[in-house]
Amino acid sequence: MKKIAVLAVLASGWLLLGAARDNPGQPFAAIGEQLAQILAIVTDPESGLAEIKAEIRGIEEKLDSFDETLTSGLFLIAPNAHSVDWAILNNSSDTQTFRVTVYQYPSGLPRIMVDQSQGTVGPGEVFHNANAVGTVFTAGFYTEVVVEVNSPNVQPIVEQWSQAAAVDFIPGTLIASGDFVGIKPPTP
């Protein structure tokens, strides 16, 4: 998919470049010159592009490998819930990478991945994602939040709120850090 997008951008660039060269003095001429410079750098083996690509691959590999997988277990959305919020607290001394996946389980059918977030959280920081009920989290379906991390000092929670302003926590809906259970990574 990424390769197709890159090829589409390059093809568009070549078309603009050709139009600019064929029509000097027209509005696209300056853009065409800039694209020609960019394409020269991208295609130049001495430009350092290989090193940048290797660094990007290293970052992607880090993002795709995790030491621990935690599950909230199955839960239902409260009838009066307006929003569901998951959060991650980084209690380690290093920046941590995480991936959070939300699954729905329609009764009698295979699970459905409805959302996935990936990123980093600094030492002593919290990262969260709140969603209105009816978007990622849907009433009437069993739901699971799976958290993948590299440190046992990264602790997740899930909570439900009856208002959008997150001022009315619904008692009994908190899934605390200690309630999450370590599992083997989920299979797609």
Output the pLDDT for position 24.
62
Output the pLDDT for position 52.
75
Output the pLDDT for position 58.
65
Query: DSSP secondary-structure letter at 15?
Result: H
Q: Which pTM value belongs to this model?
A: 0.65
Tokens representing 143 are 């739901």
Residues 45-69: b if buried by 16+ CB within 10 A, e if exposed: eeeeeeeeeeeeeeeeeeeeebeeb
Side chain identity at residue 3, one-letter code? K
Output the pLDDT for position 99.
95
Q: What are the tens digits of pLDDT across the range 1-13?
A: 455 544 455 555 5
The CA-CA-CA angle for residues 180, 183, 187, to 5°, reads 125
Output the pLDDT for position 12.
57
Q: At what angle do helices 2-22 and 28-43 cross, to 10 degrees?
A: 130
Output the pLDDT for position 28.
58
Domains of the chain and CATH, by start: 2-47 (no CATH), 68-183 (2.60.290)
d(CA 5, CA 20): 22
Output the pLDDT for position 133.
94
The list of the chain residues with pLDDT below 70 reads 1-32, 47, 57-64, 164-166, 185-188
Output the pLDDT for position 111.
93
H or E element: which one contains 34?
helix 28-43
- Report yes or no: 97 and 120 within 8 Å, Cβ to Cβ: yes
Output the pLDDT for position 188.
55
